[in-house]
Structures are given as structure tokens and as C-alpha cells.
Amino acid sequence: MAATDSVAPLERGLAVLRALCASREDAVRPGDLVRETGLARSTVDRVLSTLTHLDYLRTDGRAFSLAPRAMQFGNAYLAASGLPDALESFAVRLADELDESVSVAVPDRDGARFVVQIPRRRTMTLAFRVGDLLPAERCAPGALFAPHWSTEQRAQWSRRLTSRRLAGGGASTTFSPLPPVPGSPPPQEIESAFDERATTAAKAGWALDDQLIEPGLIAVAVPVRDGTDGRVVAAVSVVSHTSRHSAESLRDHALGRLREAARRMEDELAGSREPATLRRASSPPSDSGSSTGSGQAPRGLTTAALIDEPKRDLGAHYLRSLARGLTVLVALGSRRGGMTLSAVADATGLPRATARRALITLREEGYADCLDAEGRLFVPLPAVLELGYARLCGRGIEELVRPHLLELSTQVHESTSVAVLRGPEISYVARVATSRIMQAAITVGTRFPAYATSMGRVLLAALPSAERDARLAATDLKPLTRFTITDPAALAALLQRVAADGYALVDQELEEGLRSMAAPIRDHRGRVVAAVNVSMHAGRIDAEHARESVLPALARAAARISADLAAMGDRLDLGAA
């Protein structure tokens, strides 16, 4: 594989994406990316326009931020490795048994990267996310991974320790979640202390983190090995706080169960080794949620025809080989146990020579590797998670829907909101207020009876009929205005209608003078999990007009939000209904 076979636009595109993901700001200006990457402004602009066109980034015209679709990259690694699918349930059980946080990390170059996080933090400590990378010398899993490092990894680690930029974590971009160590000891001391911890850990079969990351945070970890060659493929940690345990008492408390969980994880990995198509990677795009003319690229893999098309319109502002390379990266997640060049070419619809050059580049960039000595089977590597995964995981529903509500409000010149169902009520999770009506009264967390609101009706209508009837039966159906429908049979019939129409229009039933219209928001499984609405002054716009002028924009916003939710998959926490 000659270096000349690599793809320059893909290399540059990855450099820009990496710099954007490592930035402390959520929205990054092109000038900052020029400075960080050393690339020409024109190159950065082309990369940004390509990534924006592919919906990996969004822009307000000046700065760029990650879009949920960028989770595809990290998902490709998680799916191909099969680790979250295989190990998460054991981690959940362990966290329940011990009533402490549990995480699973994998070795990534000279660090440990989280692939499972089951948090149970009571005391203020850093909460890491799936995708976050810790330096090996500052966490429990690192001491378990280090004895298995190659000479190259070891050298990389030593180089990092001696380079001031990365050693303390202060200005580190690689380890951005970490606080700096005040008065960090000289590299030689860190090196010998870590070597000692790693040797002890290898002998004992467990490792401790006694406040290596921050005061109060303690952890004990054990290795998870591959059944065939004994390689340490992951480490499972129990994480606590000094207000509950000392490092030693945590070890005494947790080690037995931790070892038992690791043994079960090893059994599971051995049993699930046959290459299998993975649920998370390959589940078909969920039905109607994203079937819209919103311009959103379909969920899942973008194949050759779609990748090449924008070239006609965007010309030099569209880097086709960057788009193709990223598609190859995402495609690597469609199968476990590695993919051959032919399989990648088939999955993407790209010519073999194109797919091959992309794979070579991804390998050089540290995002893919060959599983076998013959170089036939390609897999994505954990470093792929640095391309925005942790960052996007940390976003909540409000952050996710806000740009869509702003856009919708701008289009229809009315207030817009998103709410979820909580028992018999709706609870607001986001709102953009433009109109005068009820402006002050509604904030995030505000609740209203579901039966008298458009969002509530959309959410009730999506329930199985038995549950819908039960919720209505448990609700005190009071008239809130002269117009409120309170007859259970009439309401049941209305909800049938709403389910069939796919939207609800409620006219002055919650408050006189207020008319509102709502549409359902679906998750990656196609389930209705939230609703978006537009609220209008009843005097300004009649019901028919509202349907004509507002409904199309509302439906598009619902589809766009649903597509973002689909991209987030299981990673978005909507709370319990």
C-alpha cells in the first residue's frame, strides 16, 4: 500500500473535523480551524461546505457545529466492535448490584476510551461519556492496558509525557474532558510510578485509580480478555467517591462482583464472536419518522449515487472524495468481524479502487485497521469516537431541538415548543417564544393537562388504545375554558382522528384566545416520544388558514427533529414518561 494511494481531501477533511471536535467551543469559526490545522482557508472552506452538505455539520453562516448525524462515525466503531451490545447489560447489572457507577473502556493508542457508561453519580465528580478518552497514566483501565502496549504505543506515550502541551491535560485537545493537574510531577516520575502500577496490576489482575483524575474520584478496574488469545480487549471499572469509600474499601467491596461480571462478559464475547450483522449498525431506518421532503439525507448509509450528486451543484465546494471516504468509514460499521474490500465496495456502491484508497487513508489516519495478517479484513478503530461522538452524546433534548424551533418560529412568526408526556400531563422541554400570548407563563418544565393541549393530544393519540383509555380514565377531565372537550367518548374519537391525521389542532380549549397545532416527533425506532407545536393567537389566524400556512412548516420541523433523534439512537435521554 503506497502512501501515494491515500486521498488528500479525506485526510484534510478528517483534520478539520478533528479540530472542530476538539475545540472548547460548540460553534467554531473557519479562521480558528485554519489556525488549528494549518490548512489553507480555501481548503477549510471546501471541507466545511462538504461536511455541511452531508449534514455532519450545521452553520449559522459564520460558525460551524456538529450535527447529530456525525454520530454515525462513532456508531460505526461501536457496532463493528460489538462491545456495547455484548457488554452493556452486564455493566447495568453490576451497577445495580453495587449501587455505583460502572464503565467499560477499550485501549486506544496510549489511552483508555469509554464504550459503555452506566452513571450513578451522587457527588459532584466529572461524568465521562461514551467516546471520552483518558490518558492511560491517569485512570484504572490504563494500568491494565499498558503491559500489552507495542513499542510504538509505549514510545507515543513517552513522547506525550514529555510534551508539555499534552502532559498536564491543561491545554490538551486529545484529552479534553480532563481537568489539569496542578503542579504535575516531572515526566520521569510519572513514568516510573505508572510502570509500577502497571506491573502490580498485571500481577494482581486489577488496578486502582486513587484520585488520579480529580480529588474524590476513585475507581477499581479489571480486564476483559479475548477468549482465543488472552488479549485484554477492554477493562470494566467500578467508580465511586471518597465520601463513600476509600480506594481500598472500594476494592474490597467491588472486586468479587467486578471479576464475576468480567468473566460473564468474556463468555458473552466468546459466544458472540461469529461475524454477525449488528442491530445498532444495520437496523433499517424507522418508518415514517424521516420520510419527508425536508432535504435531510436518509439515515444510514449514503451510497455512491447520493454522494456524487451534489458535485453538479456545488462544484469545487464539494469534495467528492471526502464524502466517499466518510461513507466508507460509516460502512465499516455494517458488519462485525471486519469487512473485505469487496464487501465495502458492495455496501457503498463505490468502485473497488476508490474504496481501497479510502481504506488506506483511514488506516493511515488511525481510524481503521486490518484484522488479519493478509490485510483482507478491515475494521474501524476506537479513535473514530473522537470524531464528535462524546460531544454529541452530551447534548440534551433541549439543545437538540432548539435550532429547529428557532427555524420554525422564524418561518411561521409564532411561538414554538417541544413537550413530552408525563403521566396525564405534558411537560415542556424546549420553547422559543415570539408572540405575546402566554409568553411569560410557559418555561421549560411547565406542565399542562394533556387532554386539552395539541401536543398532549398528539402524544396520547400515539399510545396503544388500552393505555390511552387508562390515562384518560385516570384524568380529571375539567373544562378549562368554554371550549374544552371533557366528554371521554368525544375525546377518544378525537384522538383516533389525530392518530389518523398525524397532527392535532386545538382551539381555545386550554386558554381562550389560544390556538395551537402539534405534530409528533419520533425516535430511531419510530416511536412517538415527543411533540412539537406552534401556538397562535386565535383572533389573528383562523383554523383553516392555520392548517394551510402552518402545518407544512410544522411537519417539516417534526421530520427534521425526528431525523436528529434517529441519528442519536439510544443516546438521547428523554427521561421516563
Location of C-alpha cell 484534510:
12
Nearest approach in angstroms of CB 94 to ligand PHB is 12
Q: Which stretch binds ligand PHB (CB under 6 A): 53-61, 135-143, 175-183, 548-556?
A: 135-143
- Stretch 469-528 residues interacting with ligand PHB (CB under 6 A): none
Q: Does 240 bind ligand PHB (CB under 6 A)?
A: no
DSSP string for 190-245 = HHHHHHHHHHHHHHHT-EEEESSSSTTEEEEEEEEE-TTT--EEEEEEEEEETTT-
Nearest approach in angstroms of CB 115 to ligand PHB is 11
Report the residue from 128, 175, 318, 367 that binds ligand PHB according to the rule CB under 6 A.
Answer: 128
Nearest approach in angstroms of CB 134 to ligand PHB is 7
Nearest approach in angstroms of CB 44 to ligand PHB is 34
Sign of CA dihedral 245, 249, 253, 258: positive
Q: Does 95 bind ligand PHB (CB under 6 A)?
A: no
Q: Which is nearer to ligand PHB, 131 or 141 (CB)?
A: 141
Nearest approach in angstroms of CB 112 to ligand PHB is 7
Nearest approach in angstroms of CB 384 to ligand PHB is 20
Q: What are phi and psi of 39, to 5 degrees?
A: -85, 160
Q: Does 209 bind ligand PHB (CB under 6 A)?
A: yes
Beta partners for 236? 104, 222
- Stretch 249-288 residues interacting with ligand PHB (CB under 6 A): none
Number of residues located near ligand PHB, criterion CB under 6 A:
11
The CA-based angle 482-484-486, given to 5 degrees, is 125
Q: What is the DSSP letter of 100?
A: S
Contacts of 115 (CB under 8 A, 6+ apart): 78, 81, 83, 84, 87, 104, 105, 106, 130, 234, 382, 385
Burial 121-146 (b: 16+ CB within 10 A, else e): eeeebeebbbbbbbbbbbbbbbbbbb
C-alpha cell recorded at residue 224: 476483559
Number of neighbouring beta carbons within 10 Å of residue 34 = 18
Report the residue from 161, 178, 198, 219 that binds ligand PHB according to the rule CB under 6 A.
Answer: 219
Number of neighbouring beta carbons within 10 Å of residue 490 = 11
Report the residue from 65, 81, 103, 354 that binds ligand PHB according to the rule CB under 6 A.
Answer: 103
Nearest approach in angstroms of CB 457 to ligand PHB is 42
Number of neighbouring beta carbons within 10 Å of residue 391 = 23
Are the C-beta atoms of 6 and 357 separated by less than 8 Å? yes
Q: Which stretch binds ligand PHB (CB under 6 A): 213-221, 325-333, 422-430, 526-534?
A: 213-221
Number of neighbouring beta carbons within 10 Å of residue 539 = 8
Sheet with 415-422, edge to edge strand ranges: 447-449, 425-432, 415-422, 528-537, 514-522, 504-507
Q: Which stretch binds ligand PHB (CB under 6 A): 8-16, 63-71, 134-142, 244-252?
A: 134-142
Q: Which is nearer to ligand PHB, 39 or 140 (CB)?
A: 140
Are the C-beta atoms of 133 and 112 separated by less than 8 Å? yes
Q: Which is nearer to ligand PHB, 140 or 558 (CB)?
A: 140
Nearest approach in angstroms of CB 221 to ligand PHB is 6
Q: What is the DSSP letter of 61?
A: S
Location of C-alpha cell 395539541:
454
Report the residue from 91, 106, 139, 463 that binds ligand PHB according to the rule CB under 6 A.
Answer: 139
Q: Which is nearer to ligand PHB, 218 or 437 (CB)?
A: 218
Beta partners for 102? 118, 238
Nearest approach in angstroms of CB 540 to ligand PHB is 52
Nearest approach in angstroms of CB 76 to ligand PHB is 23
Report the residue from 140, 167, 419, 572 that binds ligand PHB according to the rule CB under 6 A.
Answer: 140
Number of neighbouring beta carbons within 10 Å of residue 252 = 11
Nearest approach in angstroms of CB 26 to ligand PHB is 22
Q: Which stretch binds ligand PHB (CB under 6 A): 136-144, 145-153, 264-272, 371-379?
A: 136-144
Report the residue from 98, 213, 254, 506 that binds ligand PHB according to the rule CB under 6 A.
Answer: 213
Q: Which stretch binds ligand PHB (CB under 6 A): 47-55, 133-141, 311-319, 369-377?
A: 133-141
- Stretch 400-459 residues interacting with ligand PHB (CB under 6 A): none
Q: Which is nearer to ligand PHB, 175 or 378 (CB)?
A: 175
SS3 (DSSP) at 485: coil
Q: What are phi and psi of 368, to 5 degrees?
A: -150, 160
Q: Which stretch binds ligand PHB (CB under 6 A): 138-146, 331-339, 499-507, 567-575?
A: 138-146
Report the residue from 146, 239, 269, 383 that binds ligand PHB according to the rule CB under 6 A.
Answer: 239
Report the residue from 43, 72, 237, 290 that binds ligand PHB according to the rule CB under 6 A.
Answer: 237
Nearest residue to 396 via CA among 555, 565, 577, 175:
565
Are the C-beta atoms of 483 and 453 separated by less than 8 Å? no
Give the separation between CA 386 and CA 549, rounded to whole angstroms. Answer: 42
Q: Which is nearer to ligand PHB, 55 or 209 (CB)?
A: 209
The residues that touch ligand PHB, with contacts defined as CB under 6 A, are 103, 128, 139-141, 209, 213, 219, 221, 237, 239
